[in-house]
Each structure stands twice: as C-alpha cells, then as structure tokens.
Amino acid sequence: MKGLSIQHITKSFGSSKVLNDCSLDINGNDFVALLGESGSGKSTLLRLISGFESPEKGKVILNNRVLLDDQLFVKPEDRHIGMIFQNYALFPHLSVRKNIAFGMSASPESEAYLEELIEIFELAEQQHKKPSNLSGGQQQRVAIARALAVNPSLLLMDEPFSNLDQTLRRKVRIEIKAMHEKFSIPMILVSHDPEDALELADKIAVLQQGKIVQFGVPSELYYNPVNQYVADLLGPNTKYKNQFIRPEQITFNRSDFQGKVIRSAFSMRGNILVIEADGHEFLAYDYSRTNTIGDEVSFGILANH
C-alpha cells in the first residue's frame, strides 16, 4: 500500500512518556497536519518517522517498506524522507543553488531538475546568493526546494512557518498547497497553529498528552470534535448540551433564543460577541457590526456546515 503506516509507537525521555501507543495511517499522497499543544509529542513523532529518534517500541512502514520495527532500524539517510526544520538548517557557506543541489547526483537529469526547482520556487535571481542575504520567505523556499531535490517518498515539515510574519505566512501556505498538488507526494506538517492545519491539510491528527485523540478531515474535527481539548485547539466555541457550537453557526435571522450582549470585540470577520442566553455564554460573529454591549438579541444555531 502506498503511504505511511505508524503502528503502536511509544517513546519516553527519562521517566516522561512523550508518545503513548500512537498509530496513524496516511494513505496515498495525503497532506496531514499534526496538531497539538507544546509538549503533546508532535515534533517527537516527526523525528521518529525521519529516524532522528528511536522509540521503545513500534513500527514505521513507508510504501510497503519497513523502516522500523523490533528487529530493524533504517538510518535517516536511507529512508528517502525529506525534512524541513523550524530554522530551515541551510548551509550558510553555500549559495542557494548549491544548497538545493546538495545530495543530488551529478547527472544531466539532476541538473535539469535543479533548474526546474529554481524556476518553480522563483529563486533564479537569488541562486548565487548566500542564505544570510535572503528574506525569511526566500530561505523557506530554498529549504523546501532542497528537500524536494532528492525526490523523497515523504516530506516532513516541523513548524516551518514559525519565523514568518502573518502576511508572509498566508502567502507561503498558498505556495505549499500548490507545491503539494504539483509534486504529489505525502506530506506531514507539524504545527501549533490551527489555521495552518485547517487551510493546508487533507486530514488532521490531534495529539493530546502523547496520544492521537482524533484523526480526520478538517471539517469533521472542526465541527465534531471528540472533546473540549480538540474543540479549543481548533478555535473559539461554545459548549451547549454536549455540542460544540462555532461562532459562525450563530445566526441572527432566527429567534430560537433570546439573549443579551455582555461583551463585544472587533475581529476581521465581524465583531465577535458574547451573548448570555439560556444559562450559557454564546460566542457569535456579528457581521453587520450593529450590536453593542447591553443589546437584547434574538438568534438561532445553524447545523454543522
């Protein structure tokens, strides 16, 4: 089966169990995000897949090839996995071109592919510069191009947007989504930012205290989280009668509830309101920006999108 299978991975550092019986199957060329709070084990799981760490037990299989089990440990350089680190780990003494070419074989085919990568990632004008002379976004594009240059069977990204401002972060998200569609290889992104996961991933795996507590498509996790941890991780919500209600599910075109606005704050999507009703505090987006603190309002709850 093409894809990645992680089976019953357990990893401890000293007396602290970081990963506890984690299993995950990534089929075909899916883009999967590992999401969780700091210390949940997501970066450790990525390092175990890449071979930079060894677990106490477990199994890793990539495209039907066993990389790790009780009897076997394939070295990182032999796993055919690309890795993009948080700090990009570019070679400071090499040019952009030589950074990308590092690890490629010397052949006409490789040279042609190198030229293609430089063009795809719009690095022609920077190819003879050193990494220190590049912007953060350009450095990231070099890191991604270098990871793809060796034609990996899997690409891993560990918090690759953490050093980017919000404007550049949004732009790079679009680039990476397009890159995934073009190169058609499975990718795993580690992030603590729900927007990264929701916008980029085909599926999201949420880690909580070393366990994968939910795995599915973004809409499933967003509107049907298995617990409060997952609900809070993916954005603002109101728990009402064992359901998690997102602010955009509140509509002022119905009158199922009567309530009072007790707080209001500006947001790009519309003012975000806290409405006291039926013994709960509902979060709602006021797209018209017409309601203020103290207003009596009527509203209803839309079904999950």
CATH number of residue 93's parent domain: 3.40.50.300
Is residue 205 located within the same domain as residue 82? yes
Which residue ranges of the chain lie beneath pLDDT 70?
1, 305
How high is the pLDDT of residue 305?
Answer: 56
Helices and strands, counts by H and E, the chain: 8, 17
Is residue 220 located within the same domain as residue 258? no
Residue owning tokens 């795996």: 205
Residue 4 to residue 22: CA distance in whole angstroms: 13
DSSP string, 144-159: HHHHHHT--SEEEEES
b (16+ CB within 10 A) / e for 242-268? eebbbbbbbebeeeebebebeebeeee
* Tokens coding 264: 């209001």
Q: Which residues contact 39 (CB under 8 A, 6 or more apart)?
A: none
Is 239 within a domain? no
User: Beta strand 296-301 with 250-251: parallel, antiparallel or unpaired?
Assistant: antiparallel
Is 267 within a domain? yes
Residue owning tokens 């510069």: 129
CA atoms within 13 Å, Cβ hemisphere of 107: 8
Helix (H) / strand (E) element for 222: namely: helix 218-223
Is residue 120 located within the same domain as residue 29? yes
Is 216 within a domain? yes
How high is the pLDDT of residue 106?
Answer: 81
How high is the pLDDT of residue 227?
Answer: 96
Is residue 264 located within the same domain as residue 188? no
**Number of domains into which the chain is organized:** 2
Is 242 within a domain? no
How high is the pLDDT of residue 68?
Answer: 95
Is residue 282 located within the same domain as residue 169? no
How high is the pLDDT of residue 1?
Answer: 63
CB atoms within 10 A of CB 21: 14
Is residue 43 located within the same domain as residue 120? yes
CB 33, CB 201: distance < 8 Å: yes
Residue 127 to residue 107: CA distance in whole angstroms: 19
Is residue 39 located within the same domain as residue 69? yes
Residue count of the chain, please give it: 305
Is 197 within a domain? yes
* Tokens coding 219: 């809409």
Domain extent at residue 280: 247-301
Is 156 within a domain? yes
Residue after which a domain boundary falls, among 201, 228, 255: 228
Residue owning tokens 């897949």: 49
Residue after which a domain boundary falls, among 228, 262, 283: 228
Is residue 158 located within the same domain as residue 73? yes
Is 147 within a domain? yes
Q: Which residues contact 35 (CB under 8 A, 6 or more apart)?
A: 42, 191, 192, 194, 197, 204, 205, 206, 207, 233, 234
Is 233 within a domain? no
Q: What is the pLDDT of residues 154-197, one digit of tens each?
A: 999 998 877 777 777 777 788 788 888 888 889 999 988 898 89
CB 296, CB 255: distance < 8 Å: no
CB atoms within 10 A of CB 47: 17
How high is the pLDDT of residue 49?
Answer: 96
Is residue 148 located within the same domain as residue 200? yes
Is residue 185 located within the same domain as residue 86? yes
At residue 282, φ and ψ (nearest 5 deg) are -90, 135
Is residue 209 located within the same domain as residue 278? no
Q: Which residues contact 243 (CB under 8 A, 6 or more apart)?
A: none
Is residue 204 located within the same domain as residue 80? yes
CB 242, CB 71: distance < 8 Å: no
How high is the pLDDT of residue 160?
Answer: 81
Burial class of residue 122, CB neighbours in 10 A (0-12, 13-18, 19+) = exposed
Find the CATH number of the domain harbouring 284. Answer: 2.40.50
Residue after which a domain boundary falls, among 228, 260, 284: 228
